[in-house]
Chains A and B, each alone.
Chain A
Amino acid sequence: MQLESLYLYNFRNLPTLRMSPYQGINLIIGPNGAGKTNLLEAIHFLATTRSHRLAKDRYLLRKTEEVFSVVGEVVTRSGRRKLRINYSKGHKQAHVDGERAVRLSEVVGILALSIFSPQDLNFIRGAPALRRRLIDMWACQMEHDYLEELHAYRIALRQRSSLLRSVYQGQSAPDQLEVWEQELATHAAPLILRRMEIIPRLSSALGENYALLSGNAEEASLEYLPSLDPLPQSGIEEISSTLKKELLMRRGRDISLGQTSIGPHRDEVRFLVDGNRADLYASQGQVRLLALSLRLAEHRLLEERLGEEPLMLLDDVDSELDEARLSKTLSLLPRMGQVFITTTQEKLSHLIPDPKAIWRMEAGRLEREN
């Protein structure tokens, strides 16, 4: 998969920007604040209609302006597509091949990519909710029904919580909880099942990449700890009925807590290095390597699913790695299809074989080196 051209209008600090990316590795060198991250953010926006930094759309708009656009031409296995996303007055409108898309979701995924950014370190060290969100985002990309189930699950969760409080105050009868427990269990089961499938696959790809980058010094993995424990292994019906029974058993306690104490929203996902929890024991160097390995793993699984290489975006990766690991990382990239790397450091240019792939960025202006 290739991004053949990119045009940005009023995106962040970039009044206009045109780029015809190189087919392999694109190295973008420039000082902090030049707009390098914004450029990667724009590519991510074109792929997903969202910022990878989870910024609200209005923050993507250049100051004092009213509209912004991100336009790109993508060549995939199934052909050439022109994507355009316009933002105006709080609304996004997507166009595919010049035609207005009825839903934004129509453009999502035409351009597939993985992005590493320094914020990814939070996934390793931060609260469990962040890791759950990572898995959820990931599962949503892999399985179309996941988002729908997740949405329904969250609604059922809010409804049950509300009813728990009403029961606690004596305003509702406890037996009214039953239908919400049924709804919760129905929508939880597919989520749990998907997580059971996806996490081990991600774990083994993560482990392989981590071993490569660390020179086989350590083993890394990803562990799924469902809150429903032990978890029945025989399929969706049984997971659902077991969870429903468990919810019923916990009803009394949940009423006094005012919240649901079991289910996918309480599942844990943990990174491990040599069997130890990374959120507690990993060094800064290990955390960086885990975050990077995770994105490389994600890239690989996406490639397996799509049957072609998605884009790989690496933001400021060298500030997170030492020389040895950096050159190992770079040595992996030629196999990854089209890659975009940003850096503040000139020295990276010596590690890139083809000078045509080097771009310089300063104060929102991008130029290809000759």
Chain B
Amino acid sequence: MATDYRGKLAELIDELSRLPGIGRRSAQRLALYLIRQPLERVEELAAKMVESRRHVHPCPHCGNLSEDECCDICADQSRDRSIICVVEDAAAVISIERSGEYGGLYHVLGGIISPLDGVGPEDLTVNELVKRAKDVEEVIIAVNPSVEGDATTLYISKLMKPLGVKVTRLASGLPVGGDLEYADSVTLARALLGRTEV
């Protein structure tokens, strides 16, 4: 009697379970769902994955996701180029854009400092930020409110100090340990407006 999946199906389950947030059981459910779908649908899905992987890349200026040479935000000449908002990932860019309260540029760090996860400043786009910050008036640090987020904010603000740029952070009010991604637009707008100097 078979006690586990074998062959191609087992390989698919293995692959799926490596995706973030997908456990073994979800991977099995997804795999069983996929093999019951019409072949064209699965081919289309596979093609979508390949295409996005091929065409979507980090913007060379800010690290935001982009399909063109540079991202929509960097390309938009109407945006305020004297201010940069530093965020953890591209999802945070979407959240802040949705709040409608921000018209400057972004800088995506690609994570936050966390020695426990083996992430140090050298793993983030910190050096690129230092280069960009020389040409702006204000840097807003908008990482998620957590101990690691605070440490990252401290680290960046120390790097910014000698550049003479104004460094601010979001006003408190966002739930600690919460994610900017899940903060509602009103809360986020308020946090942006009430930002304080570090």
Q: Interface on A for B, CB 8 Å cutoff?
A: 148, 152, 155-156, 158-160, 162-163, 166, 172, 176, 178-180, 182-183, 186-187
Contact = CB atoms under 8 A, between A and B. Distances in A.
Given A155-B147, A179-B151, A182-B154, 10 more contacts: A152-B176, A155-B148, A172-B115, A172-B120, A176-B120, A178-B158, A179-B152, A179-B154, A180-B151, A183-B150
A148 B176 contact: yes
B121 A176 contact: yes
Interface in B138-152: 146-148, 150-152
Which 10 pairs, one residue from A and one from B, show the smallest C-beta to C-beta distance?
A163-B115, A162-B115, A155-B147, A179-B151, A179-B154, A162-B116, A179-B155, A152-B147, A159-B115, A183-B151
Nearest to A166: B115
A159 B152 CA distance: 12
30 contacts: A148-B176, A152-B147, A152-B176, A155-B147, A156-B151, A158-B116, A159-B115, A159-B116, A159-B148, A159-B151, A160-B115, A163-B115, A166-B120, A172-B115, A176-B113, A176-B115, A176-B120, A176-B155, A178-B158, A179-B113, A179-B152, A179-B155, A179-B158, A180-B115, A182-B151, A182-B154, A183-B147, A183-B151, A183-B154, A187-B147
Contacts of A160: 115
A160 B120 CA distance: 12
A183 B145 CA distance: 13
A156 B120 CA distance: 14
Contacts of A187: 147
Interface string B94-138: 000000000000000000011110001100000000000000000
What does DSSP make chain A's interface, helix, strand, loop or mixed?
helix
Nearest to B113: A179
B134 to A, nearest CB: 21
Contacts of A180: 115, 151
Interface of B: 113-116, 120-121, 146-148, 150-152, 154-155, 158, 176
Contacts of A152: 147, 176
A160 B147 CA distance: 12
Contacts of B121: 176
B111 to A, nearest CB: 14
A35 B154 CA distance: 54
Nearest to A153: B147
A245 to B, nearest CB: 16
B147 A159 contact: yes
A176 B124 CA distance: 14
A172 B147 CA distance: 19
Nearest to B117: A162
A159 B114 contact: yes
A158 B117 CA distance: 11
B56 to A, nearest CB: 32
B129 to A, nearest CB: 16
A160 B146 CA distance: 15
A166 B114 CA distance: 12
Contacts of B114: 159
Most chain A beta-carbon neighbours within 10 Å: one of B113, B151, B158: B151
